[in-house]
Amino acid sequence: MITRRRRFRLVTRKALKRLAFLAALLLAITIWSYFSMIRMPGRTYRAPLPALSDSQRELAARLEAHVRFLAGDIGKRSTFHPRQLAEAAAYAKSRLEATGLQVRDQSFVERGTGVPNMDLTIPGAAKPGEIVLIGAHIDSFQGTPGADDNASGVAAVLELASTFAQRPQPRTLRFAIFVNEEPPSFWTPDMGSLVYAKQAKAEGDNIVAMLSLESIGYYDDTPGSQHYPPPLNLAYPSRGNFIGFVGNLGSRRLVRRCVETFRKNEPFPSEGAALPAYLPGVGWSDHWSFWQTGCEAVMVTCTATFRNPNYHKPTDTPEKVNFDRMARVVEGLEPVIQDLASRP
């Protein structure tokens, strides 16, 4: 009796087809992810930085004065240090009022204590019902002076408000100072920007774009100074010498537009990313609050904890902030804001 042996195959033809399909699908997803989330218009600046202009030097000096007052003279700013928080808010309000425009007090009560939220509005000349909002949080992490996080962002808001106060744009511009971005209020109903965003939605405000200026003053040219959540380290540079524009997938167009305009106008390294909101760091500031109300919002940042070794530490002092580079970034944000406030 003759018996035939069956050939034993480790991988069947059907299995190979399935593997090939999965590999093709994975490749397609990777390519789509790169071009939709990571690849940005234009090219980042890679040459040596040009000499500071006179206007940049003057801007750097003003930014330094703001940061040194908030993080040096005042220091710790939170509900655990209410006197210092109130002093910081009074300073920010006085600087906004120096533009000659009215500052709207939007303070609210948290745990029986009033906490400061405020904004300044520059009405649009052609589309006043469409609002571009630029904001930053004034509080610091508990027990820290918060020079980069986030006196740097507040200083930028104050200077940008002064720049645009007498330059009305087609759309309305708002410059806001928020409270309670740091823990324990972070991502809670007491977060100042979330209170603001919910109130704006209730009042029918049409916020077409929001920029959150978050920790924009720390830069390091050393290789390996920049870190990322995996696998983003495969796509971005290892030197922490750039400014980042970060948004969620729903804000992808806004991220790309900001990066494109910044790169066209400012010779300074820049990177952009529109990523899933669940990735670490993507939603770690006030832009997150506006995502909750359906607005497109982007964080402008030097990436904080992914670069700055002083993040949320007592060593986050004004001496660690690079005001020359910060001035270049703030100057580069001017055409970004102007573009958002004018181009359809």
Quick one: pLDDT at residue 20?
A: 74
| Cα 259 from Cα 220, distance rounded (Å) | 20
- Print burial letters for 93-126: b (CB count within 10 Å at least 16), e (below 16): bebbeebebebeebeeebeeeebbbbbbbbebee
Quick one: pLDDT at residue 53?
A: 97
SS3 of the chain: CCCCCCCCCCCCHHHHHHHHHHHHHHHHHHHHHHHHHHCCCCCCCCCCCCCCCHHHHHHHHHHHHHHHHHHHHHCCCECCEHHHHHHHHHHHHHHHHCCCCCEEECCEEECCEEECCEEEEECCCCEEEEEEEEEEECCCCCCCCCHHHHHHHHHHHHHHHHHHCCCCCCEEEEEEEECCCCCCCCCCCCCHHHHHHHHHHHCCCEEEEEEEEECCCCCEEEECCCCCCCCHHHCCCCEECCEEEEEEHHHHHHHHHHHHHHHHHCCCCEEEEEECCCCCCCCCCCHHHHHCCCCCEEEEECCHHHCCCCCCCCCCCHHHCCHHHHHHHHHHHHHHHHHHCCCC
Tally the domains of the chain: 1
Class of residue 47 by CB neighbours under 10 A (exposed 0-12, middle 13-18, buried 19+)? exposed
Quick one: pLDDT at residue 10?
A: 62
User: Does 48 map to a domain?
Assistant: no
| Cα 189 from Cα 199, distance rounded (Å) | 12
| Cα 213 from Cα 173, distance rounded (Å) | 15
| Cα 321 from Cα 334, distance rounded (Å) | 21
User: Does 81 map to a domain?
Assistant: yes
Sheet holding 270-275, edge to edge: 103-105, 118-122, 171-178, 127-137, 206-214, 297-301, 243-248, 270-275
Quick one: pLDDT at residue 200?
A: 98
User: Does 36 map to a domain?
Assistant: no
> At 128, which CATH number?
3.40.630.10
pLDDT tens for the chain, residues 1 to 344: 455 555 555 668 777 777 777 777 666 556 666 656 899 999 999 999 999 999 999 999 999 999 999 999 999 999 999 999 999 999 999 999 999 999 999 999 887 778 999 999 999 999 999 999 999 999 999 999 999 999 999 999 999 999 999 899 999 999 999 999 999 999 999 999 999 999 999 999 999 999 999 999 999 999 999 999 988 988 999 999 999 999 999 999 999 999 999 999 999 999 999 999 999 999 999 999 999 999 999 999 999 999 999 999 999 999 999 999 999 999 999 999 999 999 88
User: Does 139 map to a domain?
Assistant: yes
User: Does 71 map to a domain?
Assistant: yes
pTM here is 0.91
User: Does 335 map to a domain?
Assistant: yes
User: Does 74 map to a domain?
Assistant: yes
User: Does 149 map to a domain?
Assistant: yes
Quick one: pLDDT at residue 4?
A: 54
AA letter at 29: I
Q: Phi and psi for 210 in degrees, rounded to 5?
A: -130, 130
Domain hosting residue 167, numbered range: 58-340
**If you search the block for the tokens 């809670």, which residue do you land on?**
188
Quick one: pLDDT at residue 167?
A: 94
Here the tokens at position 43 are 């090219």
